[in-house]
Amino acid sequence: MRILLPLLALTLAACSGAPVREGTPASGNAGLAQAERAARLLAGEYSGGESRDRSQAAGLVRLVAEVERIGRDGVAVRLTQFAEDGGERQFRLVFEPGATPNRLNGRFAPIAPDGSARTACPLEIVLREGGFIARTSAESCRFGSGPDASALIKEIAHDGWTLVIGDRVVDPQSGEARMPDRVLELQRLVRFEGWAGVRDQADSAWRLARPFQLLSDGVPVALQDAAGMPLEIELELAPHRVSEDRPAVFRLRVFEAASGDLIAQSWAALDSGSLGLALPRFQAGLARSGSPVSE
């Protein structure tokens, strides 16, 4: 039972030219070098939401991936997932050298509040150009006991830009799903720097915003002028999927700060170097700032 394959075919094709972040691999052990490369590729900050609810502003998820340990037996990455309601979950992925090229062994484990790892599940990891696909098995990834026992099929796919995480919880005996599948589609956070101008009337002078930065995390930024006075305008940038059969894009939205009313919006490809829009009373231009936000 594959959770992510239909979405992955679309996502990986759409992002095949996206930038890849790689570190310097360990030397002297090809398998460990591959494990470290995959872990460093994953490290960074991401934002997105559930695939079935991408059209909603609520429900955005932010995820931070940090390489926490590099040893001869493998490389551990801690994933911290933040929800808009303040909830936080932590997991650990361990990439281990495999017996064959382009394949790694691994482990997935939820992390308890005290920092200890709960039951760890084996991961099968297949390396792809610029990324990897990892998967647990219902036979070896089980939690609980007796009638409360459940099996977890977790699939993780990463292409250097997009991170897709799918979960299917099933009955260990029948294989039937215990709850609806959950699929998170996350994009690397990107930082843009820009300018903006507001004017009260079509023929009045422009009030320019002081230089500002905007992250692709869906968090609104309130604009201020050079004197620190509010311009009563907020900008928001986040990945957005118009429909299930089309790749995600950046959506830039402009709001009235006082009322929350949407003034305008524009769309651009995820690899765009610049964003902007022009209205009679508001204009803005944003330029990509260096590399995606990373650890």
Q: Would you kindly state where each structural domain of the chain is located, as residue ranges?
A: 5-188, 191-288
Instruction: Give me the pLDDT at residue 193, please.
Output: 95
Which tokens belong to 122? 């084996």
Fold of domain 5-188:
Lipocalin (2.40.128)
Please give the C-alpha separations between residue 285 and each of 74, 192, 291, in angstroms, as whole numbers. 44, 10, 18
Encode pLDDT of 188-242 as tens digits.
999 999 999 999 887 789 999 999 999 998 889 999 999 999 999 999 998 887 7
Query: Could you tell me which of 86, 93, 135, 129 has the C-alpha nearest to residue 110?
Result: 93
Give the separation between CA 163 and CA 188, rounded to whole angstroms: 8
Instruction: Give me the pLDDT at residue 83, please.
Output: 82
Give the separation between CA 156 and CA 63, rounded to whole angstroms: 13
Instruction: Give me the pLDDT at residue 293, please.
Output: 60
Instruction: Give me the pLDDT at residue 263, please.
Output: 93
Residues lower than pLDDT 70 in the chain: 1-28, 51-59, 291-295
Secondary structure of residue 196 in the 3-state scheme: strand
Instruction: Give me the pLDDT at residue 207, please.
Output: 94
Enter the pTM of the model. Answer: 0.74
Instruction: Give me the pLDDT at residue 5, please.
Output: 47
